[in-house]
Chains A and B, each alone.
Chain A
Amino acid sequence: EVQLVESGGGVVRPGGSLRLSCAASGFTFDDHGMNWVRQAPGRGLEWVSGINWNGDNTDYADSVKGRFTISRDNAKKALYLQMNSLRVEDTAFYYCARVRMATIEGAFDIWGQGTMVTVSS
């Protein structure tokens, strides 16, 4: 079964750090670009960051640039999001999503179930 499973969410104070992980199974991981998308409670979807198939190309939303770092380990079939200097406005469900192609951009055809990040003092 093609599957993405996120982990690493939790409650953190403003200024703190968290590292999200996304474990892939059921498909050839390095055939696909990957992205992180977040959704604040009761709000819409916001694209956060993306990485191409081999990790040599990454993109970030302006709202997280310089604070978040996306990476991948194709041997472990895993995607990561290192989140530093967290702000209250980063509170959201974070989804990892597979791209149909090897690039960052495209249709996100497989999504994980999401992991909740709460930034609160």
Chain B
Amino acid sequence: DIQMTQSPSSLSASVGDRVTITCQASQDINNYLNWYQQKPGKAPNLLIYDASNLETGVPSRFSGSGSGTQFTFTISSLRPEDVGTYYCQQYDDLPPYTFGQGTKVEIK
């Protein structure tokens, strides 16, 4: 099975800060990597698909990059409504389509 190592597990940043989360796959997954945001008590919400494509309706301050085994998710200017937990997910070839362990983002 492909393992996804996401870091950090949590972070605290100020409004307006640039926030970066990384996800490392245990083997090459091409660009088959998605990013989701989950706000407390809510279902996850797709932000980025195929490593770098912004889902329709998602603010442009969110972005993703990477391919192969190393991926990065960035919030260019953190806003209060961005508080939540962010997950990467791979879907290369065979199941299971594993999620990273999540990064909890808080406002300092």
Question: What residues of chain A have their CB less than 8 Å away from a CB belonging to chain B?
Answer: 35, 37, 44-47, 50, 59-62, 95, 97, 100, 104-109, 111-114
Contacts and interface: CB of A to CB of B under 8 A. Distances in A.
Contacts of B89: 45, 47, 108
Contacts of B101: 44
A50 B97 contact: yes
B88 to A, nearest CB: 10
B57 to A, nearest CB: 10
B102 A45 contact: yes
B97 A105 contact: yes
A47 B91 CA distance: 11
Contacts of A62: 1, 96
Nearest to A114: B43
Interface residues of B, number: 23
B87 A44 contact: yes
Interface in B40-85: 43-46, 49-50, 55
Contact of A44 (B46, B49, B95, B102): B102
A111 B43 contact: yes
Nearest to A49: B95
B95 A107 contact: no
A108 B46 contact: yes
28 contacts: A44-B100, A45-B36, A45-B89, A45-B102, A47-B89, A47-B95, A47-B96, A47-B97, A47-B98, A59-B95, A59-B96, A60-B95, A61-B95, A61-B96, A62-B96, A95-B43, A105-B91, A107-B91, A108-B34, A108-B44, A108-B46, A109-B49, A109-B55, A111-B43, A111-B45, A112-B43, A113-B43, A114-B43
